[in-house]
Amino acid sequence: MKTRRIGDFNVGEVGLGCMNLSHAYGVPPSPELGKKLLLEAFDLGITHFDSAALYGFGRNEELVGPTLKPIRDQIMLASKCGMQGVDGMRVIDGRPETMRKTLEDSLRRLQTEVIDLYYLHRWDKKVPIEDSIGELSRMVEEGKVCAIGLSEVSANTLRKAHAVHPIAAVQTEYSLWTRNAEIEVLDACEELGAAFVAFSPLARGFLTDTDLDPANFAEKDIRRNMPRFQEPHFSNNAELLTEYRALAKEAGCTGAQLALGWLLAKRPYIHVIPGTTSLAHLRDDVAASEVELSQDIIERLEKLINRETISGPRYPAPTQAEIDTEEFAA
């Protein structure tokens, strides 16, 4: 697999978002299947594994850490603090003392002495970003964290954080149907030398060859509460898929590979971390590193799927209020 830089690490440009193995999309796979998928990912060339304290309220780290421990020195292990489960509820808390406890818990669950890339999962707007980054910088000084990342922040917040300590990576949702990063954050990453890590690069399964039916989503699938998967938005968006899949066929790749290949072609410092519970989909995703898209395909793809042709916001209003990313003018 081709590689790209994140801080001092050289990792495969296609990483693995590990959330799906414990969290968010209904009933997770068995631990045995999760372990098998993690090891298969490494065998396929993935060296960038992304977890978080929030995922499964600690269960994801408990799965990822011990499974990858035998190859720990051959991978970049990422996790996150600042948003975790408290009494069964998701809580955003960027206070230094909370972040410190989260780190110690994560190190124990991951069975490692150092986390290679440690993100502030969400900026807690009640806490100055400088205070949260200050605590992360102390973790670096102590040798418990190698590099600092931020998730779902604006360019302004990124610059404030970077003034306290260099930011190695910004992780934000980015795909053909979610283009907010193009407003300013991508340029800010280039300016500051930070990598950009695109999560949900397959539009939460929409930009694949799988025919999704929101009516069949599991009871606890987070997509049930996302406007783009609700009517009338979903039916409007689904009308784009016939032409989308035709473009993939013309490009000689699958729908997933088209979405990932587009992202990798956008900027040389973009990384993608699709998540999956399927070994077949995992192999499909990894093969995106071999996809070369023509400029004609890219232009037609961007004309087909963009913020004006997609129906519905990406999050419901309460969730949108929690994040700091720039928004397009209405």
Is 315 assigned a catalytic role?
no
The answer as to whether 287 is a domain residue is yes
305 pLDDT higher than 80: yes
pLDDT at 329: 82
The answer as to whether 326 is a domain residue is no
Instruction: State the pTM of this model.
Output: 0.97
The answer as to whether 186 is a domain residue is yes
The 10s digit of each residue's pLDDT in 175-230 is: 999 999 999 999 999 999 999 999 999 999 999 999 999 999 999 999 999 999 99
The answer as to whether 98 is a domain residue is yes
Residue range of the domain that includes 174: 3-320
Q: Provide the domain count of the chain.
A: 1
The answer as to whether 173 is a domain residue is yes
The answer as to whether 327 is a domain residue is no
- Do 45 and 15 form a contact (C-beta atoms < 8 A)? no
259 pLDDT higher than 90: yes
**Bridge-partner residues for 196, per DSSP?**
170, 270
- Residue 151's domain is classified under what CATH number? 3.20.20.100
126: which residues sit within 8 A by CB, 6+ positions away? 94
pLDDT at 50: 98
The 10s digit of each residue's pLDDT in 114-165 is: 999 999 999 999 999 999 999 999 999 999 999 999 999 999 999 999 999 9
The answer as to whether 328 is a domain residue is no
Which amino acid is it at 86? V
Whether omega before 232 lies within 30 degrees of 0, making that bond cis, reads yes
SS3 content of the chain, % helix, strand, coil (to 5): 45, 20, 35
Please tell me which residue in 55, 118, 119, 174 is annotated as part of the active site.
55
